[in-house]
Amino acid sequence: MTTSATPLLDEPVRTLFERIAAPAAGATPDLEAIGGALTDLARDTEYLGGWLARLGDRSGSLAIHAPDRGPRLTLVHRTEGQMSAVHDHGTWVAACPVVGVETHRRWQVVRGEGGPPSVELAEDRALQPAEVATLLPPDDVHDHGHLVGRGAPAWTLILLGDRQTQFRRNEWDLATGRHRILAPGDGGRWVASEAWPDD
């Protein structure tokens, strides 16, 4: 029986969530299995073409499946030269481009004596279509989007283990090195070029 709390899902999306149910249920999620399931969906460009058309060329996101709690799937597009702010999610995440090239950089947190935490680049990947990056807290500090000179901007599937805005999270500004705590409910800056909130 279907209720408003359990919306009908298109078959490709339902298949994804069925495949990740067991790998996501453990104390430590099986990110390899989760990433493999997301990659298979990203290859289904015939199905995803409708979602890409709905989002269009604008910078933004479109929820494909977003229950109040638990794993959720979003299609994200940042335009030419737009990178997200450096942030964490507080839950596992998998990202996989459908078309275009998604820059995905992982950052290592450096905690100095008495000062705010800073970040150092740990990994820099240019994800091609159907290549996946996965992260697990506390090693989930990253930014992603498009760097000029790295191909066309991507439309990327983002699969999260839970609703990130329920968690207390972190955000950094690479230009200034500033760090701030994101209180639950604060989605943070969409792109790194947005003004810092207290400017």
User: Could you read off the pLDDT of 36-70 as tens digits, one per residue?
Assistant: 999 999 999 999 999 999 999 999 999 999 998 99
**pLDDT beyond 60 at 1:** no
Q: What pLDDT shows up at residue 3? A: 36
CATH number of residue 64's parent domain = 2.60.120.10
Report if residue 4 sits inside a domain: no
Report if residue 148 sits inside a domain: yes
Q: What pLDDT shows up at residue 2? A: 35
Structural domains of the chain, count: 1
Q: What pLDDT shows up at residue 111? A: 86
Distance separating alpha carbons of residues 161 and 26, to the nearest angstrom: 12
Report if residue 197 sits inside a domain: no
In which domain, by residue range, is 161 found?
A: 11-182
Report if residue 83 sits inside a domain: yes
Report if residue 27 sits inside a domain: yes
pTM for the structure as a whole: 0.92
Report if residue 168 sits inside a domain: yes
Distance separating alpha carbons of residues 61 and 155, to the nearest angstrom: 9
**pLDDT beyond 90 at 115:** no
Q: Which tops the pLDDT comparison, 175 or 84?
A: 84
Report if residue 150 sits inside a domain: yes
- HSE, CB side, 13 Å, CA atoms: give it for residue 179: 15
Task: Tell me, letter by letter, the H, E, C secondary structure of the chain.
Answer: CCCCCCCCCCHHHHHHHHHHHHHHHCCCCCHHHHHHHHHHHHCCHHHHHHHHHHHCCCCEEEEEECCCCCCEEEEEECCCCCECCEECCCCCEEEEEEECEEEEEEEEEECCCCCCCEEEEEEEEEECCCCCEEEECCECCEEEECCCCCCCECEEEEEECCCHHHCCEEEECCCCCCEEEECCCCCCCCCCCCCCCCC
Q: What is the mean pLDDT of residues 125-154?
A: 96
Report if residue 187 sits inside a domain: no
